[in-house]
Structure 1
Amino acid sequence: MQVEDGRWSWERGFPLRYLLAADGGEQVWSRCADAEGLFADPVPAPRERLTFLGCDPAGPLRNAVEQPAGAVVRLGELCLEVGNEKRPLEWWGLNDADVVDRRPSGSDPALVDVVIEAGVEEPEEGRAELTGQRRFELFEKDSLGTCEGVEGLYVERYGAPEQPMTLIGCEPTERLRAVLDAPEPGAAAELWALDRSGRPMTSRILALEAGEVRPSVLGGDLLDITLTGGVDDPPPLLAGPVWEAWYEGVPDALNEWARFTTEGRHEWLKIAFRNRSRGRADESGGTYHVDGTHVTDGYGLHCALGEAFHGPGGYYGMDWQSFNDCLGGGVGVVPPFTLVWHDAETARRALAGAVEDLEGGPTYFEEIVQRLEGYGVVVELR
Structure 2
Amino acid sequence: MQVEGSDCAWERDLSLKYLLVSEDEDGEERLLARIAEVEGLFADPAPVSRQRLTLVGCVLDGPLPEELCVEIWDGDRPTGYRTLLDVRVVEQRLRDVVVEAGVEPPQATYDCREQPADPRFVLFGESSVSVGSCERIDGLRIPHPLQPDVPMELIGCEPTERLTKALREPGHSGHTGLWAVDRTGRPMAFRAFALDITASRPSALGEGLLDITIADRLYDPPPLLARPLWQAWYEGVPDTPNSWAPYTQKGRHEWLMLAMGNDGPQRAADRSGGTHHLDGRFVTDGSGLHCALGEALLGPGAYYGWGGDGFDCLNGGWGVVPPFTLVWHDADVARQSPGLRAYFEETVRELERCRVTVVLR
TM-score by length of 2: 0.71
Q: 1:239 to 1:116 in 2, by over 3 A?
A: closer
- The one-letter code of the counterpart of 1:284 is S
1:195 has 2:174 as partner:
no
Q: Which residue of 1 aligns with 2:33?
A: 30
Describe how 1:202-217 pairs up with structure 2 within 5 A: 202-217=189-204
Residues 285 and 339, structure 2, Cα contact 8 Å, conserved in 1:
no
1:378 has 2:352 as partner:
no
Residues 40 and 162, structure 1, Cα contact 8 Å, conserved in 2:
no
- The one-letter code of the counterpart of 2:302 is G
Describe how 1:278-293 pairs up with structure 2 within 5 A: 280-293=268-281
Distance in 2 between residues matched to 1:295 and 1:345, nearest whole Å: 9
Q: 1:279 to 1:295 in 2, by over 3 A?
A: closer
Describe how 1:1-382 pairs up with structure 2 within 5 A: 9-23=9-23, 26-43=29-46, 96-99=70-73, 101-102=74-75, 116=80, 141=129, 162-182=149-169, 187-277=174-264, 280-319=268-307, 321-350=308-337, 352-354=338-340, 363-382=342-361
* Post-superposition offset of 1:346: 1.5
**Which residues of structure 1 form unaligned runs of 5+?**
46-70, 76-93, 103-111, 124-138, 143-157, 355-361
Residues 18 and 191, structure 1, Cα contact 8 Å, conserved in 2:
yes
Distance in 1 between residues matched to 2:37 and 2:334, nearest whole Å: 38
1:147-169: CA deviation from partner (whole Å, max 9, x where unpaired):
xxxxxxxxxxx966542110000
Q: What secondary structure does 1:39 align onto?
A: coil
Distance in 2 between residues matched to 1:194 and 1:113, nearest whole Å: 39
- The one-letter code of the counterpart of 1:199 is R
Q: Which residue of 2 aligns with 1:68?
A: none
- The one-letter code of the counterpart of 1:368 is T
Residues 200 and 211, structure 2, Cα contact 8 Å, conserved in 1:
yes
Q: 1:97 to 1:72 in 2, by over 3 A?
A: farther
Q: Which residue of 1 aligns with 2:117?
A: none
Q: 1:116 to 1:256 in 2, by over 3 A?
A: closer
* Post-superposition offset of 1:379: 0.6
- The one-letter code of the counterpart of 2:339 is G
Q: Which residue of 1 aligns with 2:119?
A: none
Distance in 1 between residues matched to 2:220 and 2:273, nearest whole Å: 38
Residues 206 and 231, structure 1, Cα contact 8 Å, conserved in 2:
yes
* Identity over aligned pairs, percent: 52
Distance in 2 between residues matched to 1:29 and 1:276, nearest whole Å: 23
- The one-letter code of the counterpart of 2:12 is R
Q: 1:96 to 1:44 in 2, by over 3 A?
A: farther
Residues 40 and 153, structure 2, Cα contact 8 Å, conserved in 1:
yes
Q: 1:345 to 1:236 in 2, by over 3 A?
A: same
Distance in 2 between residues matched to 1:238 and 1:322, nearest whole Å: 24
* Post-superposition offset of 1:264: 1.2
- The one-letter code of the counterpart of 2:210 is L
Q: 1:72 to 1:226 in 2, by over 3 A?
A: farther
Distance in 2 between residues matched to 1:306 and 1:113, nearest whole Å: 33
Distance in 2 between residues matched to 1:238 and 1:244, nearest whole Å: 11
Distance in 1 between residues matched to 2:19 and 2:234, nearest whole Å: 14
Distance in 1 between residues matched to 2:283 and 2:166, nearest whole Å: 46
More displaced stretch, 251-260 vs 186-195: 186-195
* Post-superposition offset of 1:217: 2.1
* Post-superposition offset of 1:305: 0.4
- The one-letter code of the counterpart of 2:39 is E
* Post-superposition offset of 1:209: 1.1
Residues 326 and 357, structure 2, Cα contact 8 Å, conserved in 1:
yes
Distance in 2 between residues matched to 1:198 and 1:181, nearest whole Å: 29
Q: What secondary structure does 1:367 align onto?
A: helix
* Post-superposition offset of 1:258: 1.1
Residues 72 and 78, structure 2, Cα contact 8 Å, conserved in 1:
no
Q: 1:121 to 1:323 in 2, by over 3 A?
A: farther
Q: 1:226 to 1:301 in 2, by over 3 A?
A: same
Distance in 1 between residues matched to 2:31 and 2:57, nearest whole Å: 48
Q: 1:74 to 1:164 in 2, by over 3 A?
A: farther
Distance in 2 between residues matched to 1:221 and 1:192, nearest whole Å: 22
Distance in 2 between residues matched to 1:343 and 1:286, nearest whole Å: 20
Distance in 1 between residues matched to 2:7 and 2:238, nearest whole Å: 17
1:336-360: CA deviation from partner (whole Å, max 9, x where unpaired):
110011111112222x333xxxxxx
Task: Give aligned pairs, total.
Answer: 290
Root-mean-square deviation (Å): 3.4
Residues 41 and 235, structure 1, Cα contact 8 Å, conserved in 2:
yes
**Which residues of structure 2 form unaligned runs of 5+?**
49-55, 61-67, 83-105, 111-126, 131-144
